[in-house]
Chain A
Amino acid sequence: MLETETASKGPVTASGVGQGRAAEPLVTVEDLRVRLVSRDQNLSLLQGVSFTLKEGEVLCLLGESGSGKTVTVRSLMRLLPPSAQVSGKINIGGTDILALKPRQLRQVRGGLISMIFQEPATALDPTFTIGNQIAETIRVHENVSQAEARKRALNLLEMVQVPSAARRLDAYPHELSGGLRQRAMIALALSSRPKVLIADEPTTALDATVQIQVLLLLRELQRELGMATIFVTHDVGVACEIADKVAVMYSGRFVETGTIDDVLAAPAHPYTSGLLHAVVNSEARGTRLTPIPGAPPDLSSLPPGCSFAPRCPRVQSACNDRVPDLVEVSDGHASRCILARDLSLQGTQELRQ
């Protein structure tokens, strides 16, 4: 049963919401599996993803193309193509997402969960002004007058630090620059005070100086409003800037989970450490880079055991037998590798040196 929010919905203030974290996780995902079945193909996009997220936490899904990170977050909002078959459990704020009927789904989308996309141009309707779009979204979810909704839209634009917000209310998306459009989309996403915010590579298409602005903004907003946030990215630097917890994904599974500090300091999966070493950083100049050999696997023909085995520098015969389980390496830090404990010990030793 969908719980409609009847608590008072006053104007959004900066006083902060949810200072004390609720004991119950807000988001619970169990064994999420997604298959894409059509006449031409039968792909397994997600093969059993499970996680929980508390109010106010930021989880970063880190992975490359084909890892399944976008599919995961789109399943949360049921924004997958019709040929996708989804199984598993998704529970957000007490609501079983996969069991919702279309009308209930419409209330949940934008209301309980909101999403910001990579391309603001596609999320914003070019025939409506920004103010109208935000106001319309507000009125879909709440029963307020047009004037009240417009006032709230102005508030939101100011909250996302759009300069000359009053003037921008009547601007069309194409009249705004990339950074402003992205902010408008964030305002749109926040307009109905969602409990969960999903950000799918929102800064990838932005210039460096704008990207850092949007990242800092998102961090601030998330802190103030206390939303649970799932942030999808392929950029380790972005994950460092924004995440509390991180889940590294590879060919449809979590291969490592933990706090961002733990995972970065002592990666417990060969893919994670390969990724971290492959990323070009400032000190690399003059040395030869250490890439991960090979390429991400073809999702239509995955190997029987660990899907990273063909590229893994530490592969053993046991790796090809079955898919390893996620095992805990230390408190809150888990890895899907049979060598997990050795790797993580190694990492912490290197750190101490």
Chain B
Amino acid sequence: MVSQPYDDGVAVDPAGAPPVVRSRNFWQDVARRLSRDPVTLVCLTILVLILVIALLAPFIAPADPFKTSMVNRLKPPGTPGYLLGTDELGRDLLSRLIYGGRLSLFMGFTPVLVATLIGGGLGILAGFAGGWVNTAIMRTMDVFYAFPSVLLAVAISGALGGGVFNGLLSLTLVFIPSIARVSESVTIQVRTQDFVEAARATGAYPYQILVSHVLKNVTGPIFVYASSLISVSIVIASGLSFLGLGVSPPQAEWGLMLSNLRQSVYVAPINSILPGVMIFVTSLCFNLTSDGFRSAMNVKG
């Protein structure tokens, strides 16, 4: 079916059937590249494991995380019946870590998700529209961006009073400006590309260009940036609970557990650092995974 003078040397089956066109789209390519990256695969596995364990907490946890026992306070790991020992109120550490994972992951993930939707939207709008819209949005973001994130989270949380919902709110507000910034700069980069100009040259309306052309190209980088924030969010959420501003007792949450066990660090050192270890491992895995995504996406245009 190809007209002769423009033969491209594309191998065509002489019988006339065109060859199967196997073309991978961008995300399929990323997945393929990731599958060859051992570090990212390991981290992803660990994260999935943590997530699954947290989700199945009611079925997996060996004991009731709220059941206290003054007799069995600060038992070391390995004590029969308490695999990882007990905390300062005699509650089973393993169960509390498992249940704690739920809240910690939730408080790590949700603010980033909401902030990506809001901040990403604002940033893309600012980047695409330019002009006074851009100035209005980005300068407002700058005001919030000027505050160090932890300080800002503490300040907002403190002002609103503690509690999970306020903690989520303050974290979301902290992340919106930085995601907006990244989204804006990525959108501007994409907007100046030739293919966007070519789309404009067809007389399309701006929102058509935005939806069909620009969005596809900005989701990748925004996703990578947002995923790198999850670990930060977990750490700050734990920090808020540590300071008494997030989760309140007797809820199980790693940061809160760390705070409560702080006083017992000389008496039962291993018990005291276990929640910290969980925060560290989860955070690290999110970071490395996000790095892995970034390299997988960088290679191709």
Contacts and interface: CB of A to CB of B under 8 A. Distances in A.
B36 A294 contact: no
B36 A39 contact: yes
B9 A293 contact: yes
Contacts of B36: 39
Nearest to A298: B9
A311 interface: yes
Interface string A308-320: 0011000000000
A351 interface: no
A209 to B, nearest CB: 27
Nearest to A293: B7
A295 interface: yes
Interface in B1-34: 5, 7-9
Contacts of B9: 293-295, 297, 310-311
Contacts of B5: 293
Interface in A296-351: 297, 310-311
Contacts of A294: 7-9
Nearest to B299: A40
Q: Which bucket holds chain B's interface residue count?
A: under 10
A293 B5 CA distance: 7
A311 B7 CA distance: 10
Dominant SS at the A interface?
loop
B12 to A, nearest CB: 12
A310 B36 CA distance: 35
B172 to A, nearest CB: 40
Contacts of A293: 5, 7, 9
Nearest to B6: A293
Nearest to B33: A40
A39 B299 CA distance: 13
A316 B207 CA distance: 56
B169 to A, nearest CB: 45
Contacts of A39: 36
A43 to B, nearest CB: 16
A297 to B, nearest CB: 8
Interface in B167-218: none
B154 to A, nearest CB: 43
Interface string A92-117: 00000000000000000000000000
Contacts of A295: 8-9
A293 B9 CA distance: 8
Nearest to A294: B9
Interface in A247-297: 293-295, 297
A294 B11 CA distance: 11
Contacts of A311: 9
A349 to B, nearest CB: 28
Contacts of B7: 293-294
Among B7, B9, B36, max chain A CB count under 10 A is at: B9
B22 to A, nearest CB: 16
A295 B8 CA distance: 6
A39 B7 CA distance: 32
B178 to A, nearest CB: 31
A294 B9 CA distance: 5
B8 to A, nearest CB: 6
Contacts of A297: 9
A244 B7 CA distance: 35
Interface in A33-47: 39
A297 B9 CA distance: 9
B7 to A, nearest CB: 5
A311 B9 CA distance: 8
A17 B5 CA distance: 52
Interface string B256-300: 000000000000000000000000000000000000000000000
Among A39, A293, A297, A310, max chain B CB count under 10 A is at: A293
Interface in B31-75: 36
A39 B33 CA distance: 11
A297 B7 CA distance: 13
Nearest to A310: B9
A158 B146 CA distance: 53
B76 to A, nearest CB: 47
A299 to B, nearest CB: 14
A39 B36 CA distance: 10
A204 to B, nearest CB: 20
A310 B9 CA distance: 7
A311 B10 CA distance: 11
A242 to B, nearest CB: 32
A231 B36 CA distance: 42
A311 B5 CA distance: 12
9 contacts: A39-B36, A293-B7, A294-B7, A294-B8, A294-B9, A295-B9, A297-B9, A310-B9, A311-B9
Interface of A: 39, 293-295, 297, 310-311
Interface of B: 5, 7-9, 36
Nearest first, the 6 closest Cβ-Cβ pairs linking A and B are A294-B9, A293-B7, A310-B9, A295-B9, A295-B8, A294-B7
Given A294-B8, A311-B9, 10 more contacts: A39-B36, A293-B5, A293-B7, A293-B9, A294-B7, A294-B9, A295-B8, A295-B9, A297-B9, A310-B9
